[in-house]
Amino acid sequence: MVNKDFFQALDELENEKKINKEQFIETLEIALASAYKKMYGQAKSALVKLIPEKNTIKIYSYKTVVENVEDPDKQISTEDALKINKTYKVGDTIVQEETTKNFGRIAAQTAQQVVMQKLKELERQIAVSELSEKEDELLTTAVKRIDNGTIYVTIAGTHTEGVLLQSDQIPGEKFKMGDRIKVYVKKIKDSFKGPQIQVSRSNIGFIRKLFELEIPEVQNGDVLIKNIARDAGVRSKVSVYTENSQIDPLGTCVGNRGVRINTISGELNGEKIDLIVYTDDILEYIARALSPAKILSVETNESLKASRVVVPDDQLSLAIGKSGQNVRLASRLTGWKIDIKSESDVMKSDKITDLQAPDYELTEIKDEPETDFTNFEDIS
């Protein structure tokens, strides 16, 4: 059933597909034992051993010596056992080698099917293990094909495609076959069809990795990214900070004449990026998060984790943003609910009516350096 070529094929599988030979042999032994039982009865006890050193296979059946046989497939009488060897006694196990020629074509096919199934499982496990190292990484890929809006990209060093769903694409982007694009590896998913690499360009992880790629100080940890809020293809807010007093986190990310931030924005199909300097002072942080709008005051309610922001009348639409985008992103960035009121609306009321609570704090927001509250386009 097996020969020298078969065992050489096992060596090739180990070298080419990185499948452990010992593990494969163990799988094959189980498969052949299953085939043997199928041929001679499920109750029959059998053991299969592959011996690569001799390029051969051994099949053994074994029975327990008993005084009274109740299960002929697993037991043998003392009388019959003594005919084989006079030293046998009750409780001993008699092992007899079976000839492989007794395996028929059906048994061989059954074993082959089981082996191939296990082989695929091993290949998938190995592939998933190798690909898992790429998770949360930024990769440069090539567009392989496009099917109903879903883009499939080649991942260098693997035999697996990356899948870029429409929901993971930046709105408005258009690609064609052969285009080289950067993607963020969002998740490695194991399915019945094999491992699948889910990649994204709309995930906030994509922006984080671009910052690490383009800004050495972010990559080495001198400048840290606190949080990111994103409306893919339109606008993102990124809060940054540093514990090094000698480093300006905002200027570092912007780069000379805006070259660093503009490079990142270009990779994002022109997406605007608001850089915010993080601070532990939540009042100040909320005010900064609403950049590029000018803020008069912020009041917060810790129990509701809600805030109300007062802005000059001419800054109201800017603070809210188109379709509420600016305030929505600021809320995501800070983790606080934000209600924006114009100065004239507040002046009409003598007291707060929409966020009444005993633990409000009210602070006046002092003027900050222009870069703290402006979009990178204004800085450059």
Which domains does the chain show, CATH number per domain?
4-131 (3.30.1480.10), 135-202 (2.40.50.140), 205-379 (3.30.300.20)
Tell me if 181 sits within 8 A of 235, measured CB to CB: no
More confident residue, 73 or 173: 173
More confident residue, 260 or 99: 260
**According to the model, what pLDDT value does residue 123 have?**
72
**According to the model, what pLDDT value does residue 43 have?**
56
Q: Which residues contact 100 (CB under 8 A, 6 or more apart)?
A: 1, 57, 59
Cα 360 to Cα 298: distance, rounded to the nearest angstrom: 10
Give backbone dihedrals phi and psi of 68, rounded to 5 degrees, phi first: -120, 120
Q: Which residues contact 203 (CB under 8 A, 6 or more apart)?
A: 168, 184, 186
Cα 315 to Cα 155: distance, rounded to the nearest angstrom: 47
**According to the model, what pLDDT value does residue 353 have?**
47
- pLDDT per residue as tens digits for the range 2-41: 556 667 777 777 777 666 778 778 877 888 788 777 777 6
- pLDDT per residue as tens digits for the range 236-295: 999 999 999 999 999 999 999 999 999 999 999 999 999 999 999 999 999 999 999 999
Is the pLDDT at 168 greater than 60? The verdict is yes
More confident residue, 303 or 35: 303
More confident residue, 143 or 357: 143
Closest C-alpha to 227, from 166, 315, 288: 288
**According to the model, what pLDDT value does residue 209 have?**
97
**Across residues 87-110, what is the average pLDDT?**
75
**According to the model, what pLDDT value does residue 101 have?**
64
Is the pLDDT at 360 greater than 80? The verdict is no
Supply the Cα-derived Rg of the chain in whole angstroms: 34
Alpha helices in the chain (DSSP H): 4-16, 21-40, 78-84, 105-131, 204-214, 216-219, 249-254, 259-267, 282-289, 316-320, 325-334, 343-347, 376-379
**According to the model, what pLDDT value does residue 103 have?**
62
Is the pLDDT at 160 greater than 90? The verdict is no
- pLDDT per residue as tens digits for the range 173-187: 999 999 999 999 998
**According to the model, what pLDDT value does residue 16 have?**
72
Structure tokens at 347: 């002046």
Structure tokens at 309: 């922001």
Closest C-alpha to 340, from 323, 315, 375, 305: 315
Tell me if 264 sits within 8 A of 214, measured CB to CB: yes
Mean of the per-residue pLDDT values of the chain: 83
Alpha helices in 132-248 (DSSP H): 204-214, 216-219
Q: Cα 100–101–106 angle (5° rounding)?
A: 95
Q: What's the DSSP call for residue 271?
A: -
Kindly report the three-state secondary structure assignment for every residue of 19-50.
Answer: CCHHHHHHHHHHHHHHHHHHHHCCCCCEEEEE
- pLDDT per residue as tens digits for the range 121-131: 777 777 777 77
Placement of tokens 């969002």 in the chain: 186
pTM exceeds 0.75 for this model: no
**Across residues 364-379, what is the average pLDDT?**
35
- pLDDT per residue as tens digits for the range 176-216: 999 999 999 998 877 666 678 899 999 999 999 999 999 99
Q: Residue 175 burial (CB < 10 Å; 0-12/13-18/19+)?
A: middle
Is the pLDDT at 90 greater than 90? The verdict is yes
- pLDDT per residue as tens digits for the range 327-350: 999 999 999 999 999 999 888 764
Is the pLDDT at 108 greater than 90? The verdict is no
